[in-house]
Amino acid sequence: MKQILFLFIFITIISKCYSQKVLDSIVNKGTTALGIDVLVNIFYIEDVKVASDAEALLTGSNGVYDIYLRKNQTLEEAKIAICHELIHIYQYETKSLIKKANGIVLWNGVNYSYNDIPYEDREWEAEAFNKGMKLFKKIRN
C-alpha cells in the first residue's frame, strides 16, 4: 500500500514537471513563429484564486506577460489556450490592440468599449481564435 502511494506521488510530480516543460516549449515555439521577443510565464487560475470560467486569462504588457490556465484542461486544450493568448500578446506587442482606461480598447485604430460589444463579436477575439488554431496546428508537436 505504501509503495503504491509512493508511486502515485512520484508519477504526479513527474507528469507535472513534464507538462510544465511541454507548455514552456509551446510558448517558445509560438513566440518564435510569431517573431515576438517576449517573456511569458504560465500559471494556473486556481492557484491565484481568480473567479473565472475562462479557458485562460492573460495579464501583462510591454514584453512581459502571464498566462493563467484552467488546471483541469487536457494538455491539448492547454496548448490551444496558450496559442490563443499568444495571438493576443502579438496584438498587444504590434499595437493592433491597445488596452486603454475604463474598459476601452483601441483595435486597429478604432475605439471600442468592452461592455458594449459581446465577447463573440470582438474582432480581436475572432483573430485570436483563427490565428491561434493555425499556430497550434503549426507548433503542436
Residues near Zn ion, by CB under 5 A: 125, 128
Sign of CA dihedral 104, 130, 33, 41: positive
Residue closest to Zn ion (Cβ) = 128
Output the smallest distance, CB 62 to Zn ion, in A.
19
Interatomic CA distance for residues 64 and 59, integer angstroms = 9
Output the smallest distance, CB 18 to Zn ion, in A.
27
Closer of 97 and 128 to Zn ion (Cβ):
128
Output the smallest distance, CB 3 to Zn ion, in A.
45
CA 13 to chain centre: 23
Closer of 80 and 139 to Zn ion (Cβ):
80
Closer of 24 and 125 to Zn ion (Cβ):
125
Burial string for 119-139 (b: 16+ CB within 10 Å, else e) reads eeebebbebbeebbeebbeeb
Based on DSSP, count helices (H) and strands (E) in the chain, helices before strands: 4, 6
Output the smallest distance, CB 96 to Zn ion, in A.
14
CA 43 to chain centre: 10
Element at 98 (helix H, strand E)? strand 97-99
Closer of 23 and 83 to Zn ion (Cβ):
83
Output the smallest distance, CB 29 to Zn ion, in A.
20
Closer of 21 and 134 to Zn ion (Cβ):
134
User: Which one, of 106, 137, 136, lies nearest residue 124 by Cα?
Assistant: 106
